[in-house]
Amino acid sequence: MSADARIAAAERALADAGIFGATVEIEGHEREIAAIRVAGSDWERMMGPNGTSIADAVKRAGFRYVALDLAPADEPAPN
């Protein structure tokens, strides 16, 4: 479990939006970017009309920016 409570809060926000199994990592020099990976089947939801409200919910967890990782969560991350 991460020591940063923002990760758990952001993952809860994603689950509340119906996106389960997503991962959130903190990125950036200022640690203000939530880099999220979602399953390939959830891409449409993230990029659709509700994407902005989902990103806003993740921002409320304490992030300034939200980035959608291009590698789906259901595929291994490249090395």
* pTM of the full structure: 0.82
pLDDT at 79 over 70: no
pLDDT in the model for residue 40: 87
Residue 58's CB is within 10 A of a number of other CB atoms, namely 24
Quick one: CA torsion of 62, 70, 2, 5, rounded to 10 degrees?
A: 20
CATH architecture of the domain covering 5-68 = 2-Layer Sandwich (3.30)
pLDDT in the model for residue 28: 92
